[in-house]
Structure 1
Amino acid sequence: MRVYVKQKGLWLIILLILGWSQTIQAEQAGWRIKPNICVVEQMGDPCELKLNISLWGEIPDHSCLFLQDAMVECWAMPDKNISVTLEFREATVISMRDSDDRTLLQETLEVKSLSRIRQRVRTPWSVF
Structure 2
Amino acid sequence: MSFSAFPNECIASQKGDICILPITLTYPKLSSSEHCLHVNEQVLGCWLPDKLPTELNVELEADSTLTLINENAKKAPSVMLKVKYRQASSHRRRVKNPWSIF
Q: Which runs of 4+ in 1 moved over 3 A?
A: 78-81, 117-120, 125-128
Rate the CA distance shift 1:97–1:119 in 2: closer, same or farther, 3 A: same
Partner residue of 1:60 out of 12, 19, 31? 31
Q: How many residues align?
A: 98
- Root mean square deviation, CA, Å: 2.6
Aligned positions of 1:87-98 closer than 5 A:
87-98=59-70
SS of structure 2 residue aligned to 1:30: coil
CA distance in 2, matches of 1:71, 1:93: 12
Which has more helix, going by share of residues? 1
> TM-score if structure 2 supplies the norm length?
0.77
Partner residue of 2:81 out of 109, 114, 122? 109
User: Which stretches in structure 2 are left out of the alignment for 5+ residues?
Assistant: none
> TM-score if structure 1 supplies the norm length?
0.63
Aligned to 1:99: 71
Instruction: Give the Å deviation of 1:99.
Output: 1.5
Aligned residues of 2:14 and 2:85 also touching (Cα < 8 A): yes
